[in-house]
A and B are shown apart, each in its own frame.
Chain A
Amino acid sequence: MDPNSKKILLVEDEDFIRELYVRQLTKAGFQVKSAVDGQTGLNLLKSEAFDLLLLDIMLPGMNGLQLLREFKTQNPNSKMITILLTNLGQEAVIKEGFELGAQAYLIKASYTPD
């Protein structure tokens, strides 16, 4: 694997969806790590730097927005890009995420990585 390839952290609790994303992103040449809940995700973010965070909102325990808020408070200067993984109809959540520093959102159901 190309040592310069970008590092992605995926936080998603649905196994099938997480595994599909990991597979497709790895296939595309990215270094991918994944977490099944907010706390695990936050721990991974603390232990290493990522270029991109793919963040589900509805997570068990700590939700995606709480994770993002926590991370941004601790690392206000992080250059990591955050993309929210959402369902359609979560506009309010998306806006809240943007205010917390997310750069984009994906509607999971209508977008499949290939």
Chain B
Amino acid sequence: MKLPLLFKLITLIFFAVFVPLLAINFLNLQLPISLLFGAISIALAALILMLILKPLDKFVEAAKAMGAGNLHYKLDIRSADELQTVADAFNLMAGSLAFSFQKLEQEKDILSAEKNRIDSVLSSIVDGIIALDFNGNVVFANKAAEALTGFTNLELSSKSIAQFIHLFSDKDEIPTKIYCDTSFAQVVNLVGKDGKQTRVKLTTSKIEGAVQTNLGCLLILHDLSKEEELERMKLDFVSMASHELKTPLTSIIGYLSVYINENKANIPTDELSFLERSLVAAQQLLTLIQNILSVNKIERDQMSVTPQAVDYSTILTKCVDDLQNQAKLKNITMMLNLPPDLLPQVMADPIRIGEVVTNLVANAINYTDAGGKVSVTVEITPNEVKTIVSDSGVGIPKEALPHLFNKFFRVSNITQQASKGTGLGLYIAKSIITKLGGKIWVESELGKGSQFIFTLPVASKIKTFDSNTFVGQAIAQGALNY
């Protein structure tokens, strides 16, 4: 049964005020007795008041408990009046608050798990990642970026990247604006804490539509030092192995050719051909090793090509004469067509340009059937001397043309026919001609022969070449180091 608070108050007033009044007025009591009566009344009233107010203590206690964070505190008031109603409402509110808090807590856990996951993903990435805001201030740097730059996330955070990290392309520093405003991908030198230098591949991307997150651009730093070290070790190994292979091979070729020369007359023809084939194979192996060494030098950037004014017609004549025998064996007519006018001197390295011509002419002979023609023609323009090596051979399939000057490419890759080449000769030729400031290209049609054409700059009278400095440089750069 519910007794409203009003009723309780009326009872209280009745006991405290009316009962003593009634008693005094109507019972005509003597003063001491009426005083006693009054005192009893007041005591009764106070007792009733205390009973009414007692639940309020519980309210105070509950509010304190909730304030301390205990949302599961239950108010237990059975006063059967409005206070109980308030208590019930209070309990209900506490319950729903507890529920909301629990939900928030759960969502926070989910979010922080998500953040942890993203953090571990970012820090597990081996490449350095730095995020910048629109002003070029560092928002985030992952572990790899910390390792690369030498700065911690804390040191970098919210500070301008330009204060800490410097990126150089050759000797010029690249400003933040340049690499952040465009998508950028370049090998650069990164200078971090205490001048720590690392060679990295920098890739940047502009973060689009990220106004709310205030993210401007993302830098990805890929450490190249280990790769370059490995590459260098590989090249050193190839160089060393090739040189070591060459020494015994030189002996094999030397002894074999002396033996053949001295005993030609006494060896039966078919046995002699065994020896000659061995010699040819050994020479092919030597060419292969020499080509590998040349490629190795090109890749180490140590191919010494020394342009100087040279008398080109002498070199051409010698190269063509040297291969005349090989052409004759295949019954190929070989011609050297020099222009009627005197050839101007060209800027070339006499040894290297000889290699190029020999290579192109030998190729022409190789890929031309018996009875065919090979010709070397020279044309003069005011600034260039153009050399055309043409043959009446099998020609080159169209799809092979773009790959012809690539390393290890052979036309047989496409035609599926065996060929003798190493796939290195044209790659080397291209490197040499390019270093000499010329161009090399091919024109060919399947079945109609091929033309390999290259140009060399004409030596001007003003240009002189200080060979002393160059040789010194070449040696300093390791031309002597095997």
Contact = CB atoms under 8 A, between A and B. Distances in A.
A associates with B: yes
Interface of A: 14, 16-17, 20, 24, 58, 87-96, 99, 108-110, 112, 114
B326 interface: no
Nearest to B297: A89
A40 B87 CA distance: 113
A24 B258 contact: yes
B84 interface: no
A110 B243 CA distance: 15
Interface residues of B, number: 32
Nearest to B303: A89
A58 B243 CA distance: 11
Nearest to A65: B480
A89 B303 CA distance: 8
Contact of B480 (A14, A88, A92, A114): A92
Dominant secondary structure at the B interface: helix
A96 B471 contact: yes
Interface of B: 243, 246-251, 253-255, 257-258, 261-262, 286, 290, 293-294, 297, 304, 306, 349, 351-352, 467-468, 471, 474-475, 479-480, 482
A93 B258 contact: no
Most-contacted residue by chain A among B247, B293, B474 (CB, 10 A): B247
Contacts of A58: 482
B474 A92 contact: yes
Contacts of A16: 248, 251, 254-255
Contacts of A87: 243, 246
29 contacts: A14-B247, A14-B251, A16-B255, A20-B254, A87-B243, A88-B290, A88-B293, A90-B479, A91-B304, A91-B306, A91-B352, A92-B474, A92-B475, A92-B480, A93-B475, A93-B479, A94-B351, A95-B467, A96-B471, A99-B468, A108-B250, A109-B250, A109-B253, A109-B286, A109-B290, A110-B286, A112-B254, A112-B257, A114-B258
Contacts of A109: 246, 249-250, 253, 286, 290
B264 to A, nearest CB: 11
A55 B258 CA distance: 21
B253 A95 contact: no
B197 to A, nearest CB: 30
A104 to B, nearest CB: 13
B394 to A, nearest CB: 28
A24 B286 CA distance: 22
B444 to A, nearest CB: 29
Nearest to B282: A109
Given A16-B251, A20-B251, A89-B290, 9 more contacts: A14-B250, A14-B251, A16-B248, A58-B482, A91-B304, A91-B351, A93-B480, A109-B249, A112-B258
